[in-house]
């Protein structure tokens, strides 16, 4: 089986200035590696004709595939398309399919198509259009002398969608690549190093053709098993068996597999039980609500929430006693306990989560430093609480605290006994 | 003054696999831009002799400076030094200064120097050692035929320290570099292509040494002016004048400068006026609250919010009439109008923002397709509403709708008349 190689080129002067972090090329490399394509070069060039042309030429000598992002916007500084036209000696012309899709995009939004956007449907004659479902700049697939050039927009969510739904399937359709399979095991409530210690015996026994990576996130670690083989069926069975073995070692930390998010898992559990939940968010400011509502169909079990930023709302709508607030303060076990109970009553739900903490950068004290977060989960049988201290910046503290609250909730409803976050 | 150009090369197979995100090259580019060196190329290659040599050769034809990170570790897969030795035809030999520093590093930690670490003090004969205060791999400065190659470790904090304390000062000492300055103008409420049309006359009149880039985000476009000159003071004055001119052309879309976020701008306005705000979020599910509370000190003006996901909360706590819900539906101008008014009353605030929409992927109808969002802003004098249709996936619809609501609010409180989003 012939190895397929790829170069990844990101276009944009702002990348060379260091004004933005190029995350696109990592995303693309990861996806290509996942289908057995070997990335041999990553490069960024500015929005300059000469530099882009030089790089197209260089990359075409290094790999079979050349994937390019950026420079497809409607403004004058976006010149990738012109460069591809020149490089392939293939004049720009209106692509009827692309024009149709750009027009439909605008029609759907009820906005007239401007001349500048109409031009986004122009592409080199030999290019095949790649649909952009997320924006107005179509992608392009160009082939010449056994080399394939794929041009995608630089806006990350547009590129991600186009890559995963169009480009990767088309590459797989064109080339026979060795079988590489991944299996993700989703854990929550245990840190990376503790997890590594707990599963070191299992890790040591992994066969040579299967590797393990730890992908840590907020309070969660994804374990990725990657196997290579010529036999897809046998590899899949092997990966399943190995992940089942792990399930017996750390059942209390595994909530799912294959990219399931914790908020999706929570949604599954609540949907099956026909139960619902409400939120009383102080320091997390609405972010737990955001996490829950990213899941389609969350309206079935998420009734609503109160962002109780000001103390008046804690005492008023959540019925936290003024004595509690005075005696223990807003950031205390007693307060979150009453918030959760009050929230459950206010929204008339089976469960309620409450948070209160100091997100910083100011507002801390020796007893309650910045990053101190109290959280509570109330249900019919009572309320559980947890305190964590998060030594991060404001935004990361808010996001970490939100995930930690969901972990506490998941542990509660699934009777898990883990406590580390 | 001659322009100094640079290439940035990061070495490491794990980057090409997409297993790690390359943040080093952004850091280096940013630092070089700051001293007026123009980065013309960024590239990543794997730990392979042939690929590294090819890239060294390519980069040496593209720029005066070549900065390299990675591949200086003590293990077998680290071969950058060998490649530099081969590229410069300069044999590896023990560098006494480097050996002294590596030995001191180990002595300080009470760890015996191993043979493998001793070898880290070897470098090509013509290399000048660059001290690494943060680790065991010294950097190298090599010059030949007017080109300078600088090799640094790949561990980010080691590289950062070496770059800022040694490399940048040495580059400034060697070259007189021109001044490069940026000016960011933050706009909201107008899309990239409409903005480009509105300011095309101004853009055409920009002098040759000042360039413009459009950096689009959700409902917002940052305009970045970049100027090059020998005279820092004159350039700054010129950039200010040009951005003031723009302010006269599109005053209704500019909310600030130099990286200010819209939620920070809103916070500034509310703080000065000593006014406060509350939220009634349906489809946005808490994300507007999250945006507002990312700003330190937001508790001064953000009282709280209600995530009104279930209709019972709209009718109960927000006092939306059941007749309105039945007649017009939850996603309607009438409903968000009543939600905003009810929210303002419930929280007793000067302003309230309300949202209701269909984030999808299901729940749409011909009259109200997925992505239909109604938003309202209520204040003492009444309520303004706006409808937008966002053809994105669920998460991006939620986030876009949240920003669009803040734009409507900003336009309202600052008496801006823009309407496009």
Q: What is the pLDDT of residues A397-421, one digit of tens each?
A: 999 999 999 999 999 999 865 443 3
The helix (H) or strand (E) run that includes residue A141 is: strand A139-144
Chain B residues near residue A14 by CB distance under 8 angstroms: 213, 215, 224
The verdict on a CB contact (< 8 Å) between A289 and B286 is yes
The verdict on a CB contact (< 8 Å) between A26 and B18 is yes
Residue B214, both tokens: 């459009």
What average pLDDT does the structure give for chain B? 92
Over its length of 421 residues, how does chain A's per-residue pLDDT go in tens digits?
Answer: 578 999 999 999 889 988 888 999 999 998 998 888 989 999 999 999 999 999 999 999 999 999 999 999 888 778 999 999 999 999 999 999 999 999 998 888 888 888 888 888 999 999 999 999 988 899 999 998 899 999 999 999 999 999 999 999 999 889 877 777 889 999 999 988 789 889 999 999 999 889 887 777 888 888 989 888 878 899 999 999 999 999 999 999 999 998 899 999 999 999 999 999 999 999 999 999 999 999 999 999 999 999 999 999 999 999 999 999 999 999 999 999 999 999 999 999 999 999 999 998 998 999 999 999 999 999 999 999 999 998 778 998 999 999 999 999 999 999 865 443 3
Q: Closest residue of A to B390, CA-based? A: A109
Query: What sections of B251-304 are H helices per DSSP?
Result: 262-273, 287-293
Q: Give the residue, B13 or B288, on which the prediction is more confident.
A: B288
Residue A78, both tokens: 């976006």
**Residue A324 · residue A338 · CB < 8 Å:** yes
B55-73, pLDDT tens digit by residue? Answer: 999 999 999 999 999 988 7
Q: Please name the member of B18, B19, B196 whose beta carbon is closest to the beta carbon of A75.
A: B196
Q: Please name the member of B30, B289, B362 whose beta carbon is closest to the beta carbon of A285.
A: B289
Looking at residue B420, its pLDDT comes to 39
Query: What sections of B91-132 are H helices per DSSP?
Result: 96-108, 115-118
Q: Closest residue of A to B35, CA-based? A: A17
Q: Please name the member of A21, A161, A362 whose beta carbon is closest to the beta carbon of B23.
A: A21
- The residue of A286, A296, A302 whose CB has the most chain B CBs within 10 angstroms, and thus the best one to mutate to test that interface, is A286
B353-370, pLDDT tens digit by residue? Answer: 999 999 989 989 999 999
Looking at residue A420, its pLDDT comes to 39
Q: Which residues pair with B281 in a beta bridge?
A: B307, B355
Chain A residues near residue B259 by CB distance under 8 angstroms: none
Q: In this structure, which CATH number among 3.40.50.12780, 1.10.540.10, 3.40.50.1820, 3.90.950.20 belongs to the domain A262-414?
A: 3.90.950.20
Looking at residue B259, its pLDDT comes to 84
Omega prior to B57 cis, within 30 of 0 = no
**Residue B359 · residue B349 · CB < 8 Å:** no
Chain A residues near residue B27 by CB distance under 8 angstroms: 18
Q: In what order do the strands lie in the sheet with A210-217?
A: A210-217, A220-229, A179-188, A254-257
Chain A residues near residue B40 by CB distance under 8 angstroms: 16, 45-46, 51
Q: Closest residue of B to A292, CA-based? A: B285
Q: Closest residue of B to A397, CA-based? A: B294
Residue B301 scores a pLDDT above 50:
yes
DSSP label of B420: -
φ, ψ of residue B267 in degrees (nearest 5): -60, -40
Q: How far is B398 from chain A (nearest CA, A)?
A: 8
Q: What is the ipTM of this complex?
A: 0.77
- Arithmetic mean of pLDDT, B306-310: 94
B187-238, pLDDT tens digit by residue? Answer: 999 988 899 999 999 999 999 999 898 888 888 999 999 898 888 899 999 9
Q: Where in chain B is the domain with CATH 3.90.950.20?
A: 262-414
The verdict on a CB contact (< 8 Å) between A30 and B18 is yes
- What is the share, in percent, of chain B residues with pLDDT greater than 70? 98
Chain A residues near residue B286 by CB distance under 8 angstroms: 279, 281, 285-290, 293, 305, 307
Q: Which fold has domain B179-257?
A: Alpha-Beta Plaits (3.30.70)
DSSP per residue, A97-134 = HHHHHHHHHHHHHT-PPPHHHHGGGEEETTPEEE--SS
Looking at residue A109, its pLDDT comes to 81
DSSP label of B376: E
Q: How far is A211 from chain B (nearest CA, A)?
A: 13
Q: How far is B325 from chain A (nearest CA, A)?
A: 17
Q: Where in chain B is the domain with CATH 3.40.980.10?
A: 4-174
Residue A108, both tokens: 């759907």
- Arithmetic mean of pLDDT, B315-321: 93
Of A64, A117, A124, A72, whose CA–CA distance to A94 is shortest?
A124
Chain A residues near residue B224 by CB distance under 8 angstroms: 14, 19
Size of interface A-B (CB pairs under 8 A): 267
Q: Please name the member of A43, A297, A303 whose beta carbon is closest to the beta carbon of B41.
A: A43
Looking at residue B1, its pLDDT comes to 56
The verdict on a CB contact (< 8 Å) between B28 and A40 is no
Residue B221, both tokens: 């476009």
The verdict on a CB contact (< 8 Å) between A293 and B285 is yes
Q: Please name the member of B17, B302, B360 whose beta carbon is closest to the beta carbon of A309.
A: B302
Residue A67, both tokens: 């994937």
The helix (H) or strand (E) run that includes residue A227 is: strand A220-229
Q: Closest residue of A to B183, CA-based? A: A19
| Confidence at B417, pLDDT banded by 50, 70, 90 | low
The verdict on a CB contact (< 8 Å) between A306 and B310 is no
The verdict on a CB contact (< 8 Å) between A109 and B389 is yes
Q: Is B10 helix (H, G, I), strand (E, B) or coil?
A: strand
Q: Please name the member of A20, A42, A303 whose beta carbon is closest to the beta carbon of B15.
A: A42
Q: How far is B407 from chain A (nearest CA, A)?
A: 18
A185-206, pLDDT tens digit by residue? Answer: 999 999 887 898 899 999 999 9
User: Distance (Å, rounded) from C-alpha B38 to C-alpha B65?
Assistant: 10
User: Distance (Å, rounded) from C-alpha B1 to C-alpha A379?
Assistant: 72
The β-bridge relationship of strands A277-281 and A254-257 is unpaired
Q: Closest residue of A to B369, CA-based? A: A108
DSSP label of B325: H
Chain B residues near residue A72 by CB distance under 8 angstroms: none
Q: Where in chain B is the domain with CATH 3.30.70.2860?
A: 179-257
φ, ψ of residue A113 in degrees (nearest 5): -80, 125
Of B359, B358, B321, B324, whose CA–CA distance to B342 is shortest?
B321
The verdict on a CB contact (< 8 Å) between B16 and A29 is yes
As a whole number of angstroms, the longest Cα–Cα distance in chain A is: 79
User: Distance (Å, rounded) from C-alpha A309 to C-alpha B14?
Assistant: 44
**Residue A81 · residue A40 · CB < 8 Å:** no
Looking at residue B419, its pLDDT comes to 46
Q: How far is A116 from chain B (nearest CA, A)?
A: 7
Q: Is B166 helix (H, G, I), strand (E, B) or coil?
A: helix
Q: How far is A202 from chain B (nearest CA, A)?
A: 22
The β-bridge relationship of strands B210-217 and B179-188 is unpaired
- The residue of A54, A106, A304 whose CB has the most chain B CBs within 10 angstroms, and thus the best one to mutate to test that interface, is A304
Looking at residue B357, its pLDDT comes to 97
Residue A323, both tokens: 């004595």
Q: Which CATH superfamily is domain A4-174 in?
A: MoaB/Mog-like domain (3.40.980.10)
The β-bridge relationship of strands A147-152 and A65-69 is parallel
Dihedral angle over CA of A104, A110, A111, A113, nearest 10: 30
The verdict on a CB contact (< 8 Å) between A14 and B296 is no
The verdict on a CB contact (< 8 Å) between A74 and B192 is yes
B140-184, pLDDT tens digit by residue? Answer: 999 988 999 999 999 888 899 999 999 999 998 898 777 778 899
Q: Please name the member of A40, A45, A296 whose beta carbon is closest to the beta carbon of B51.
A: A40
Residue B416 scores a pLDDT above 80:
no
Residue A119, both tokens: 């031009």
């Amino acid at each position: 089986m012939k190895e397929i190689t790829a170069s990844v080129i990101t276009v944009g002067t702002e990348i060379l200035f260091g004004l933005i972090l190029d995350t696109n090329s990592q995303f693309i490399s990861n996806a290509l590696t996942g289908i057995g394509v070997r990335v041999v070069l990553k490069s960024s060039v500015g929005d300059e004709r000469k530099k882009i042309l030089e790089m197209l030429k260089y990359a075409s000598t290094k790999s079979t595939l050349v994937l390019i992002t950026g420079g497809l916007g409607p403004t004058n500084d976006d010149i990738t398309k012109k460069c591809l036209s020149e490089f392939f000696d293939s004049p720009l012309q209106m692509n009827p399919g692309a024009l149709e899709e750009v027009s439909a995009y605008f029609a759907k939004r009820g906005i007239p198509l401007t001349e500048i956007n109409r031009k986004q449907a122009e592409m080199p004659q030999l290019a095949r259009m790649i649909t952009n479902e997320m924006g107005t700049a179509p992608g392009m697939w160009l082939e010449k002398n056994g080399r394939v050039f794929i041009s995608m927009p630089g806006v990350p969510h547009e590129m991600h969608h186009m890559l995963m739904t169009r480009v990767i399937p088309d590459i797989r359709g064109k080339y026979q690549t060795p079988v590489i399979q991944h299996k993700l095991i989703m854990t929550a409530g245990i840190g990376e190093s503790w997890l590594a210690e707990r599963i070191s015996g299992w890790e040591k026994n992994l066969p040579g053709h299967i590797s393990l990576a730890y992908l840590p996130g907020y309070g969660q670690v994804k374990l990725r098993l990657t196997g290579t083989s010529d036999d897809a069926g046998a590899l899949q069975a092997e990966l399943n068996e190995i992940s089942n073995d792990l399930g017996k070692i750390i059942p209390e930390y595994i909530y799912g597999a294959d990219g399931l998010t914790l908020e999706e898992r929570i949604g599954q559990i609540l949907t099956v039980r026909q139960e619902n939940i409400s939120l009383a968010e102080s320091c997390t400011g609405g972010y737990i609500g955001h996490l829950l509502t990213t899941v389609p169909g969350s309206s079935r079990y998420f009734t609503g929430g109160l962002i109780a930023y000001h103390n008046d709302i804690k005492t008023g709508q959540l019925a936290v006693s003024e004595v509690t607030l005075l005696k223990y303060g807003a950031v205390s076990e007693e307060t979150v306990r009453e918030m959760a109970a009050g929230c459950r009553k206010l929204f008339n739900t089976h469960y309620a989560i409450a948070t209160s903490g100091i997100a910083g950068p100011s507002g801390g004290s020796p007893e309650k430093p910045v990053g101190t977060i109290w959280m509570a989960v109330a249900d019919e049988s009572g309320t559980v609480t947890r305190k964590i201290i998060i030594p991060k910046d404001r935004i990361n503290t808010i996001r970490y605290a939100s995930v930690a609250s969901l972990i506490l909730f998941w542990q509660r409803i699934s009777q898990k006994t883990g406590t580390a976050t």
